[in-house]
Amino acid sequence: MEFTPEIIQVVPHRDYTVSVYFADGKIVLYDVKPFLSRGVFQALADIDTFLETCTIMNDTLAWDVTRSGDTTQCIDIDPDVLYSLENAEEQLAS
């Protein structure tokens, strides 16, 4: 049986990071800043778009940049990539 991390909440921050909360209690901080000048991520460079469209879609962290609810038109991050990040507490301690 393959483990699939379940994301239960995402909280965007003004510094272009997102706190990602998993069902098993793990919390990670995903930093979008390094990607803002690349491809589809350029749409998130506007802070209001970044904050207002951040959500859970396709069972992962996503941005509904078209604001249509169309899961095929969102920017989403592989949940395994997110789960592989260090716990937020470990990141803050470094």
Amino acid at 58: N
Tokens encoding 13: 């921050």
Amino acid at 44: L
pTM here? Answer: 0.89
Which residues are within 8 A (CB) of 67 and not within 5 positions of it... i.e. 6 or more apart? Answer: 53
Domain 7-93 sits in CATH 2.120.10? no
At 12-57, the pLDDT tens digits run 999 999 999 999 999 999 999 999 999 999 999 999 999 999 999 9
Confidence band, pLDDT 50/70/90 cuts, at residue 3 = confident
In the chain, where are the structural domains located? 7-93
Of 22, 34, 14, 4, which is closest to residue 61 (Cα–Cα)?
22
What is the DSSP code (8-state) at residue 86? P
Q: Give me the pLDDT at residue 91, please.
A: 55
Confidence band, pLDDT 50/70/90 cuts, at residue 89 = low
At 56-77, the pLDDT tens digits run 999 999 999 999 999 999 999 9
List C-alpha distances in Å: 83 to 5, 29, 48, 80: 7, 10, 26, 5
